[in-house]
Amino acid sequence: MKIQVLGPLSAAVNGMSIVPTAGKPRQILALLALYPGRVVPVPTLMEEIWGTELPQSALTTLQTYILQLRRRLGTAMGPGAPGAAKDVLATRHGGYLLQIPSEAVDVREYERLVTQGQQARDEDEQAAGAYRAALDLWQGPALVDVRVGPILSIEVMRLEESRLVTRERRIDADLRLGRHVEVIAELTDLIARHPQHEGLHSQAMVALYRSGRQAAALGVYHRLRSRLIEELGVEPAPQLQRLHHAMLAVDPKLDILRGPRRSSTFDLYAA
């Protein structure tokens, strides 16, 4: 079985999709897929589907959805595997679980590659490659074609935040490798999508400055500062203010591509 949640929900056995068309069974499959090999309690599944207002037939209806998923699973597995669907989508005391290897779900491979990037330490090329491979697993917003309830919505938010952080880390590695021109277009898109994200703005400033576009780099800062003051009544973070002053002073440290490694470009002028 191969399951993808980093984008549209996809789950196939022997090349045959087992993803149901009905909304609630899709939610169940998605939630179980996020925890391969772990029991998801019945109350958690019910909360995901119905929230806090459970119908009187909630347990019976949930069991029906599980049965429908097992039928699709059994059809895909074929007649030579009697009873195997119950072994894969198994019932346990108080809940259900998908008994599949964790690597069968794309999010686990994504997390493995992110960890590999984090552990690369001073090997920027290796780190950038691991982060890029992790991001390449994404086929769109997480579970983009699944109606999400209160449980899945938290998981989707967590995954999307992780995706953004991973992009930041990959861009930091690329900047240390001298790929400032290559990341400008990506950063332009990112700061448009995240107009108050100071870390991304610091990356855009550094990329533009090192590409010989000092005025554009300073323009990024001034637009962010105006937005923060107007919308939140605050000044940019001290690191960003020091980065701005360094650009005005044409600080030679800004041109160093391979200096002492910091956790992010945002901390280039951390106190």
- What is the structure's pLDDT at 262? 56
121 or 179: which leads in pLDDT = 179
Query: Which residues make Cβ contacts (< 8 Å) with residue 250, sequence separation at least 6?
Result: 214
- What is the structure's pLDDT at 68? 93
Mean pLDDT of 4-8: 96
Give me the chain's average pLDDT, please. Answer: 91
pLDDT in tens, 133-158: 999 999 999 999 999 999 999 999 99
Q: What is the pTM of this model?
A: 0.89
Residue 171: how many other CB atoms lie within 10 Å: 27
Taking the C-alpha atoms of residue 79 and residue 52, their distance in angstroms, rounded to an integer, is: 39
Q: 31: which 2 tokens? A: 């939630």
pLDDT in tens, 163-222: 999 999 999 999 988 999 999 999 999 999 999 999 999 999 999 999 999 999 999 999
Taking the C-alpha atoms of residue 95 and residue 12, their distance in angstroms, rounded to an integer, is: 23
* Amino acid at site 113: L
- What is the structure's pLDDT at 267? 75
pLDDT at 62 over 90: yes
Q: How far is CA 73 from the centre of its chain?
A: 28
Q: How far is CA 47 from the centre of its chain?
A: 23
Q: How far is CA 211 from CA 170, 195, 217, 265, in A?
A: 18, 22, 10, 16
